[in-house]
Structure 1
Amino acid sequence: MKWPPISLFVVIALAWAGSTVWRERVAGQDGLMLAQRVRPGDIRMISSETCPYCLAARRWMTQEGIPFQECFIEREARCLADYQAQGSVGTPTLIVRGQRVIGFDRARLLEILK
């Protein structure tokens, strides 16, 4: 078996590193724009305790200083009722200025908050 040249591994590593840096930069820019536009009460996140996407959204919004309220469908009957009333099919479900966003979609949040 012949191994690929080392340059192939270098190209893959550089592409991965560049992609990672770019994603972090875009996430930071989105965070800055959202933090400037969001006011307390604008975002309510309906979460599940076992949802990895909820955890990622919570961490990102907290890190970026974006105010949001959160409730958990397993802990709070009102939260579960709101989740069901929204016709949601997954978590996180974000209510952004009265509009439902299923899943964590930074671009959609920015669109609503323009």
Structure 2
Amino acid sequence: MSQICPHCAYIRKSSDQAPDWQCPSCSRAYAKSGRESAPASFRQLPASGESRRGAGRWLMLLLVSVLLLWFGRPYWQAKTAPMAISAEASQPEVILYATEWCGYCKMTRAFFQANGIRYTERDIEQSSSALSEHRKLGGNGVPLIVVGEELINGYNEAALRQLLKPWLKG
């Protein structure tokens, strides 16, 4: 039985010394009769589209991992909250720019007294230096409250509680 090489069209002779699966002329491996492909050791590499499929899986895995890290960040960062300020630490300086007649200023004073917060009050109608400080801070009304480096315009109990949380008694 004669075989014809599919690559170079060489017709195999019975006297050829090459193995049955290899062309004696071009030395390429070809399929034996009755088999659909060459032996496993002589198979060609997969086409470029097939080799990318494996890389695509790795890229997809990498993308999913990055997304999990990005969107999971708030959950693992919430567990590593910053150290709480101890109540023994000194309270930041609290300055209240107010007037005598203001109802919100009165509520702010009552909040500070009820929670044991030390503060300094500066009446902007009684003192010109207090009025100039109030204006430098950008105050456009009363009360204007300075807690350390933070500035609160108007009476805002939630903001006061957040800033003064470690020092509140009530």
Structure 2 length-normalised TM: 0.41
Shift of 1:42: 2.0
What amino acid is aligned across from residue 142 of structure 2 in structure 1?
T
Question: Could you tell me how far apart the structure 2 residues matched to 1:48 and 1:68 are?
Answer: 15
- Of Structure 1 and Structure 2, which has the larger fraction of its residues in strand? 1
Shift in alpha-carbon separation, 1:63–1:110, aligned structure 2, 3 A: closer
2:114 aligned with 1:70: no
Structure 1 contact 92–102 (Cα < 8 Å) conserved? yes
| Count of residue correspondences | 79
Shift in alpha-carbon separation, 1:37–1:105, aligned structure 2, 3 A: farther
Structure 1 contact 47–91 (Cα < 8 Å) conserved? yes
2:140 aligned with 1:89: yes
1:44 aligned to which of 95, 98, 113: 95
Q: Secondary structure at the match of 1:80?
A: helix
Higher relative contact order (CA 8 A, sep 6+): 1
Shift of 1:111: 3.0
Q: Secondary structure at the match of 1:74?
A: coil
What amino acid is aligned across from residue 100 of structure 2 in structure 1?
E
Q: Which runs of 5+ in 1 are unaligned?
A: 1-35
* Largest Rg, 1 or 2: 2
Q: What RMSD over aligned residues (CA atoms) do the two structures have, in Å?
A: 2.2
Shift in alpha-carbon separation, 1:78–1:84, aligned structure 2, 3 A: same
2:107 aligned to which of 56, 60, 79: 56
Q: Which runs of 5+ in 2 are unaligned?
A: 1-86, 166-170
Sequence identity of aligned pairs in percent? Answer: 25
Structure 1 length-normalised TM: 0.60
Match of 2:159 in 1: 108
Q: Secondary structure at the match of 1:44?
A: strand
Question: Could you tell me how far apart the structure 2 residues matched to 1:68 and 1:53 are?
Answer: 16
Shift of 1:86: 1.1
What amino acid is aligned across from residue 57 of structure 1 in structure 2?
T
Q: Deviations over 1:77-97 (max 9, x none)?
A: 111001111111111100111
Shift of 1:60: 2.1
